[in-house]
């Protein structure tokens, strides 16, 4: 029955039609008692910030529109199919759910996690949290003891923070049921810094010890609790996990370098990056080498390269990677530009035959725009290499290195069957003859040379020199008599790359070396000094002394005195190899 008075109607609770959203009113002795309908608590939308300000928290378990599930350092899995208790609510004994209101705000810090680019959160009281869910404007956090329970003990503590990291306020949603644990907040920053540098391809120091010593200076407090052995183990695991698998042969290495996923090992550091891996060298259907060259840089400096008059070619074995097993040699093709050597082509070779060298030089001639009709090549005394140079560059001049000539004589003396070394070190006359042999290349190979028309290298020394191609041995009249710049480059490689490194470490460090010479070439085009003048001064001084000795020889015709005077020009190297001698 409805009460009709004062022109308004209040429907009784037994009437079927109710005004939507209005509460039911019971009439009890003209006293109105209001009974609220039972309302089920629904999940809070992410956009509703007012609820957070009142102390309520968004549901962590329901998937909401626009929410992005983020599993950082592992999501907390539901066990036995049970549904986790909703964050922001505490279940009461009678089954009702009551929201936790008016939680005091706290602040937090972001701490680097164990894995690179991971993180966790620590509030101002020392509680540790991990990210559970990333929402539109907020991040839901769970207690560390919920992600990593201590045996049967688990904490359902949770919190909420803004997605804006500049707002470092943290709101507790569910209280913790334990005291905060002691956390060393210094070690994670040291560990993270070491991890980042260990896998950074731009870091030029491959030594883990070097990285560790550098970082513990910046993190002195953390260094007390984090050892070098921990760093070494971590760096090794991180590097291995990021490398491709090892190639089994040269062809497989070429295929892997062609894969865009491995572009870090096949491209330069320049911006924009350009290709460094050039091509696979194939001879008679067999893969015999991998060629690397910065074609973009070569095209950029085409005009400068056209002025080059000297090229050095040499190989080294100490830095060749052990895998692939068919690699034999690492060869560089360097140009001398404004008295400074710059490697332009790098080659990993699996064969050192004349046919292989010829195929390689054919490729190099096509990609490197030099004026080959006036180029002088400086090489060692490897017969296959010399023949290939003369075959592919017939109009060029071939010179062999005085250093390698001296090296061959010293090695001959080191042979036990000869017994020459002790004789040279103990007998003054033998030492004098030894020096004269080393001075032979300062004479013309044949008589009639305008600079020294009456003298040439003596055939009587062929048995000691052990070569029959004196035309190539002679460095008469040359300013650059040795390829010291090549030997210096190989020494730099050994320092930066190390002996027989992992192939991927080798390539990363080779790209760093290439970038160094790319920058220095630009500096040299601007006429900047990029090398100290010591070696240049010594070379020019030696050239002057030898020139004066040749002039004296032309005046007095005393060949013996000429050889004795010029023989001392190589004393430094010889004493390094055999020790002091008369």
Task: Supply the pLDDT for residue 80.
Answer: 40
What is the structure's pLDDT at 277? 97
**Do 198 and 263 belong together in one domain?**
no
- Please tell me the predicted confidence (pLDDT) of residue 422: 74
Distance (Å, rounded) from C-alpha 562 to C-alpha 553? 6
**Angle (nearest 5°) at CA 48 between 45 and 52:** 110
User: What are the Cα distances from residue 412, in Å, to 318, 458, 465, 567?
Assistant: 22, 19, 8, 17
Is position 434 within any domain?
yes
* Residue 403 confidence (pLDDT): 61
Read off the pLDDT of residues 128-182 as tens digits, 9 standing for 90 and up.
999 999 999 999 999 999 999 999 999 999 999 999 989 999 999 999 999 998 8
Residue 180 inside a domain? The answer is no
Classify strands 277-283 and 340-349 as parallel, antiparallel or unpaired.
Answer: unpaired
Most trustworthy range by pLDDT among 80-94, 162-176, 471-485, 550-564: 162-176
**Both 415 and 354 in a single domain?**
no
For the chain, how long is the longest CA-to-CA vector?
147
Same domain, 260 and 394: yes
Q: In angstroms, rounded to a whole number, what is the distance separating the alpha carbons of residues 9 and 18?
A: 12
Specify the pLDDT at position 367: 95
pLDDT, average across residues 266-286? 95
Question: Is residue 460 one of the residues assigned to a domain?
Answer: yes
State the DSSP code for 247.
P
* pLDDT tens-digit series, residues 400-415: 656 657 767 777 777 7
Q: Both 465 and 385 in a single domain?
A: no
Cα angle at 23 between 18 and 26, to 5 degrees? 90
pLDDT the model gives residue 97: 35
pLDDT for the residue 73: 43
Least confident of 262-276, 344-358, 474-488, 490-504: 474-488
Does 326 reside within a domain? yes
Beta-sheet strands, E only, within 47-184: 89-91, 97-99, 105-112, 119-123, 128-134, 138-143, 158-162, 169-174
pLDDT in tens, 421-454: 777 777 777 777 777 777 777 666 666 667 766 6
Query: pLDDT averaged over the chain?
Result: 76
**Contact 288/356 with Cβ under 8 angstroms?**
yes
Return the H-helix or E-strand segment holding 218: helix 208-218
Same domain, 555 and 417: yes
**Pairwise pLDDT comparison (364 vs 2), residue with the higher score:** 364
Examine residue 72 and state whether it is found in any structural domain, yes or no: no
Query: What pLDDT does residue 16 have?
Result: 42
pLDDT at 209 over 70: yes
The predicted-structure confidence for 346-370, as pLDDT tens digits, reads as follows: 999 999 999 999 999 999 999 999 9
Provide the percentage of residues in the chain whose pLDDT is more than 70.
65
Domain co-membership, 13 together with 27: yes
Handedness of CA 225, 231, 233, 238 (dihedral sign): positive
Neighbours of 224 (CB within 10 A): 12
Rg (CA), the chain: 40
For the stretch 302-334, pLDDT in tens is: 999 999 999 999 889 999 999 999 999 999 999
Q: Are residues 290 and 351 in the same domain?
A: yes
Q: Do both 360 and 413 map to the same domain?
A: no
Domain boundary among 209, 225, 242: 242
- Kind of pairing, strands 128-134 and 8-10? unpaired
* pLDDT recorded at residue 26: 38
Is residue 379 located within the same domain as residue 461? no
Token couple for 238: 């991180």
Is 392 in the same domain as 454? no
Q: What is the mean pLDDT of residues 13-39?
A: 40
Tell me how many domains the chain contains.
4
Length of the chain: 582
**Residue 340 falls inside a structural domain:** yes
d(CA 100, CA 57) in angstroms, rounded, equals: 9
pLDDT band at 269 (very low <50, low <70, confident <90, very high): very high
Long-range contacts of 45-48 (CB under 8 A, 24+ apart): 46/135, 46/136, 46/137, 46/138, 47/136, 47/137
More confident residue, 256 or 493: 256
Both 361 and 430 in one domain: the answer is no
- The answer to whether residue 135 is domain-embedded is no
Angle, to 10 degrees, between the axis of helix 228-242 and the axis of helix 208-218? 120
The string of DSSP codes covering 32-87 is EEEEPPP-PPPPPPTT-HHHHHTT----SSS--TT-B---SS-PPPPSTTPPPPPT
Kindly report the backbone phi and psi dihedral angles of residue 428, in degrees, each rounded to the nearest multiple of 5, phi listed first.
Answer: -65, -40
- State which residues form the domain around 452: 404-482+535-578
CA 481 to chain centre: 36
CATH of the domain at 391: 3.30.420
Query: What is the model's pLDDT at position 539?
Result: 60
- Token readout for 18 is 């109710």
Distance CA 87, CA 140 (A): 9
Task: Give the per-residue pLDDT at 484.
Answer: 59
Residue at 232 is within a domain: yes
Instruction: Evaluate whether 78 touches 84 at the Cβ level (below 8 Å).
Output: yes
What are the pLDDT digits (tens) for 45-92? 444 433 333 433 334 333 333 333 444 444 334 334 333 444 443 343
pLDDT at 488: 72
* 281, 374: one domain: yes
């Amino acid at each position: 029955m409805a009460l009709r008075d004062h022109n308004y109607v209040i429907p009784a609770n037994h009437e079927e039609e109710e005004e939507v959203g209005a509460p039911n009113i019971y009439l009890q002795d003209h006293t109105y008692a209001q009974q609220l309908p039972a309302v089920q608590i629904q999940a809070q939308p992410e956009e509703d910030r007012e609820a957070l300000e009142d102390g309520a928290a968004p549901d962590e378990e329901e998937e909401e529109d626009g929410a992005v599930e983020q599993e950082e350092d592992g999501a907390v899995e539901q066990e036995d199919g049970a549904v986790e208790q909703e964050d922001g609510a505490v279940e009461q004994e009678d089954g009702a759910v009551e929201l936790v209101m008016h939680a005091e705000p706290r602040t937090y810090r972001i701490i680097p996690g164990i894995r690179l680019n991971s993180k966790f959160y620590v509030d101002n009281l020392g509680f540790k949290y991990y990210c559970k869910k990333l929402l539109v404007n907020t991040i839901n956090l769970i207690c560390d003891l919920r992600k990593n329970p201590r045996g049967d003990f688990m904490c359902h503590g949770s919190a909420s923070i803004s997605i804006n990291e500049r707002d470092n306020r943290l709101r507790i949603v569910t209280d913790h049921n334990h005291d905060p644990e002691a956390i060393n907040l210094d070690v994670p920053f040291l560990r993270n810094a070491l991890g980042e540098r260990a896998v950074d391809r731009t870091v030029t120091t491959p030594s883990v010890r070097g990285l560790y010593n550098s970082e513990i200076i910046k993190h002195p407090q953390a260094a007390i609790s984090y050892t070098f052995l921990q760093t070494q183990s971590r760096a090794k695991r991180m590097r291995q996990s990021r490398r491709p698998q090892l190639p089994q042969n040269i062809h497989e290495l070429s295929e892997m370098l062609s894969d865009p996923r491995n572009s870090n090992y096949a491209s330069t550091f320049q911006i924009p990056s350009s290709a460094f891996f050039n091509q696979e060298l194939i001879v008679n259907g067999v893969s015999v080498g991998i060629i690397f060259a910065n074609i973009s840089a070569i095209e950029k400096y085409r005009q400068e390269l056209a002025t080059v008059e000297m090229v050095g070619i040499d190989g080294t074995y100490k830095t060749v990677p052990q895998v692939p097993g068919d690699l034999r040699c690492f060869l560089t093709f360097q140009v001398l530009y404004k008295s400074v050597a710059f490697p332009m082509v790098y080659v990993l070779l699996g064969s050192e035959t004349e046919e292989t060298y010829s195929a390689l030089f054919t490729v190099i001639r096509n990609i490197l725009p030099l004026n080959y009709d006036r180029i002088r090549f400086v090489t060692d005394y490897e017969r296959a290499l010399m023949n290939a140079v003369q075959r592919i560059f017939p109009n060029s001049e071939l010179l062999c290195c005085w250093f390698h000539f001296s090296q061959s004589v010293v090695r001959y003396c080191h042979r036990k069957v000869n017994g020459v070394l002790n004789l040279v070190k103990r007998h003054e006359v033998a030492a004098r003859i030894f020096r004269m042999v080393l001075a032979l290349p300062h004479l013309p190979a044949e008589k009639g040379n305008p600079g020294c028309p009456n003298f040439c290298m003596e055939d009587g020394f062929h048995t000691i020199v052990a070569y029959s191609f004196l035309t190539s041995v002679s460095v008469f009249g040359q300013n650059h008599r040795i390829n010291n710049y090549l030997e210096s480059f190989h020494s730099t490689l050994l320092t930066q790359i190390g002996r027989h490194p992992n192939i991927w470490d080798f390539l990363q460090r080779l790209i760093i070396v290439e970038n160094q010479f790319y920058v220095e070439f630009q500096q040299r085009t601007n006429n900047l000094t990029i090398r100290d003048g010591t070696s240049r001064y010594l070379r020019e001084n030696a050239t002057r002394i030898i020139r004066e000795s040749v002039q004296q020889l032309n005046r007095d015709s005393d060949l013996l005195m000429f050889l004795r005077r010029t023989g001392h020009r190589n004393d430094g190297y010889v004493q390094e190899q055999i020790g002091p001698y008369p």
